[in-house]
Amino acid sequence: MQELVIKGPTKINGSISISGSKNASLPILISTVLSKGSCVISNVPNLRDTKFLISILSNLGCKINFKNNVVAIHSSAISKKIADYDYVRQMRASIVLLGPIIARYSSFKIALPGGCAIGTRSIDLHLDALKKMGVQIKILNGYVVASRKIKKLNAINHRFSKISVGATQNIVMAATLANGISTLKNCAIEPEVMDLISFLIKCGSKITISQRTIKITGNENLNLSNHEIIPDRIEAGSYILAAMATKGKITIKNFLIEHLEEPLKIFKKMGLKIKKIDTNEYLFSCSGIKPINLIQTQEYPGFPTDLQAQLITIFLKNGNQSKIKENIFENRFIHVPELKRFGADITLNSNTVIVNKVNELNGAEVMATDLRGSFSLIIAALLSKGETTISRIYHLDRGYEDFDLKLKQCGVNIKRKNNE
């Protein structure tokens, strides 16, 4: 198992290019099982989660080649109707296989998913809608066992009880092969959801969107189409926050700035300066942090929960006292005890953290706990005096392509090594 060694303190100063979005790549690759045929998906990040999913799809019978961030996929026949525990236990997004496969085939069995331990993230939102579409579902021995006796899924008029990216993606995909017009309300509208819908429309789906309502007209004759994945807004936001925390500057290429419109408004109030250099290329710099009393995570277009951990690090040595409230997941502060090992002054009160400025942080031995929380440890290491060792960095490899190489490009003294 590998670990990171970072020597600080260090200012971020350099240039990087943003990789394709992990959270867009996974559902789009999954959606190819809706139709026979072949397609090429480009700008796919080379990540642990991507490789996990490709292994799952290959095991089910898809023919896949993944090279140089391009996936060539042929999904004419799903020869296996079970996604085994060994394949799906490490990736929460695997549950999104259920909708498209049960829409195309009469049965499917999938192990209950794994992934980051940052909340319950109940799959009931997925299952309730699929049941309304005519799917019979049992939970048996750790598996979701799904079947249908009807020829095609029923179109539904359904309101999600809670906004969910995964449930929206799952049911939108299932509805593309349903009999009739489905209306889904209270949907997630994240850029990653929109990218999936863009791909499905290219493949022949008729989908319209009005605020949080999505209408899908079923079409059994979908034809797979080539597609380029959007850039990863969370990766971009993570590097911007690293530059802000260290009072540095970073040029970011291949970045759709409109995907972080609301967070960037907050960052600008805090002291971030933004200069457009070229198409989808921007210079971000910060010479000082202004405190903001309270920042709350919200569904898109609000402040993303996936940037909450990184945001906390901004205030470790800046801003006197700041509060951050987590409204999406109930257990998304598991990185806080690790940040305290650097000497951070953080108080956790239910779903709110209070961060008090300290004058000095010191390098420490810390453990990555989840994907996004792990990046907060990197930023804390950049702010700290001395050497920091971060273990369990497989969490980072799940969502940040070549992050150590990109940080080196920005002047960071960072290296991977095998721990014993």
Please give the C-alpha separations between residue 398 and each of 48, 96, 407, in angstroms, as whole numbers.
Answer: 5, 17, 17
Q: Is residue 139 packed enough to be buried (19+ CB in 10 Å), middle (13-18) or exposed (0-12)?
A: exposed
Please give the C-alpha separations between residue 7 and each of 263, 331, 380, 401, in angstroms, as whole numbers.
Answer: 29, 30, 11, 21
Residue 206: band (very low, low, confident or very high) from pLDDT cuts 50, 70, 90:
very high
The pLDDT assigned to 420 comes to 63
pLDDT of 331 strictly over 90: no
Q: Which part of the chain is CATH 3.65.10.10?
A: 2-19+231-418, 22-228
The mean per-residue pLDDT over the stretch 338-351 comes to 95
Which pair of structure tokens corresponds to residue 79? 């020869």
The pLDDT assigned to 190 comes to 98
Which pair of structure tokens corresponds to residue 261? 């419109």
State pLDDT tens for residues 48-64. 999 999 999 999 999 99
Based on its alpha-carbon atoms, the radius of gyration of the chain, rounded to whole angstroms, reads 22
| Share of residues in the chain with pLDDT > 90 (%) | 86
Question: Which member of 116, 203, 286, 410 is catalytic?
Answer: 116
| Share of residues in the chain with pLDDT > 70 (%) | 98
If one counts every other C-beta atom within 10 angstroms of the C-beta of residue 296, the result is 15
Q: How far apart are CA 363 and CA 5, in angstroms?
A: 10
Residue 249: band (very low, low, confident or very high) from pLDDT cuts 50, 70, 90:
very high
Report, at the CATH architecture level, how domain 2-19+231-418 is classified. Alpha-beta prism (3.65)
Residue 207: band (very low, low, confident or very high) from pLDDT cuts 50, 70, 90:
very high
The pLDDT assigned to 79 comes to 86
Higher per-residue confidence, 369 vs 189: 189
pTM for the whole structure: 0.96
The mean per-residue pLDDT over the stretch 307-324 comes to 93
The pLDDT assigned to 118 comes to 39
If one counts every other C-beta atom within 10 angstroms of the C-beta of residue 46, the result is 15
Residue 330: band (very low, low, confident or very high) from pLDDT cuts 50, 70, 90:
confident
Q: Is residue 143 packed enough to be buried (19+ CB in 10 Å), middle (13-18) or exposed (0-12)?
A: middle
- H helices within 176-220, ranges in order? 191-202
The pLDDT assigned to 120 comes to 46
pLDDT of 121 strictly over 70: no
State pLDDT tens for residues 251-274. 999 999 999 999 999 999 999 999
Report, at the CATH architecture level, how domain 22-228 is classified. Alpha-beta prism (3.65)
pLDDT of 10 strictly over 90: yes
Which sign, positive or negative, has the C-alpha torsion 45, 46, 47, 52? positive
Q: Is residue 280 packed enough to be buried (19+ CB in 10 Å), middle (13-18) or exposed (0-12)?
A: middle
Q: Which of 286-290, 303-307, 325-329 has the highest mean pLDDT?
A: 303-307
The mean per-residue pLDDT over the stretch 72-83 comes to 89
The pLDDT assigned to 94 comes to 87
The mean per-residue pLDDT over the stretch 351-364 comes to 96
Residue 119: band (very low, low, confident or very high) from pLDDT cuts 50, 70, 90:
very low
116 classed as catalytic: yes
